[in-house]
Amino acid sequence: MIRAARLRAVSRAALRRAPKALAWAAAVYVAAGAGLFLVMRQPPLVAGKALSFVPWPLLAALPSEWLWCEAREGELAPGDPAPDFELPTLDRSGTVRLSAFRGDRPVVLVFGSYT
C-alpha cells in the first residue's frame, strides 16, 4: 500500500515536470538546428571542416538535408544568366571565360565526375 502511494506521488511529480522537460528539449533541438544552419552557410571549406566534428546521430536527428538545401540555395532563379567565371584550359596553355561565349553559342555546364 505504501509502495503504491509512493509510486503515484513519483508519477505525479514526473507529470508536473514533463512540460518543462519537453520545452527544454524543444529549445535544445531548435538551437542545434539553428547552429547547424549557420555552420552550413559558411564557405564550403569552413563548413566541411566544421561539419566533420558533428556527430552523425545529431545529423540524423535534425532535418540536415533540408537545412543543407536551404543554406546552400544561392540567389539564382530559373532564367537568370550564369555568373561569369574563368577556368584554365585542359592543356593549361590559357584560360576560358564563360562570358566570351555569351550570345555566340549555347554552352552546357556539367559539374560532376565521370571516373
Beta bridge partners of 86: 97
CB 100 within 8 A of CB 107: no
Categorize the per-residue pLDDT at 14 as very low, low, confident or very high, splitting at 50, 70 and 90. confident
Look at 16 and 4; give whichever has higher pLDDT: 16
Residue 35 pLDDT: 93
Confidence check: pLDDT of 95 > 90? yes
Q: Residue 9: what residue type?
A: A
* Overall average pLDDT of the 90-94 stretch: 92
Residue 23 pLDDT: 92
Q: Could you tell me what percent of the chain has a pLDDT over 90? A: 35
* Overall average pLDDT of the 59-68 stretch: 89
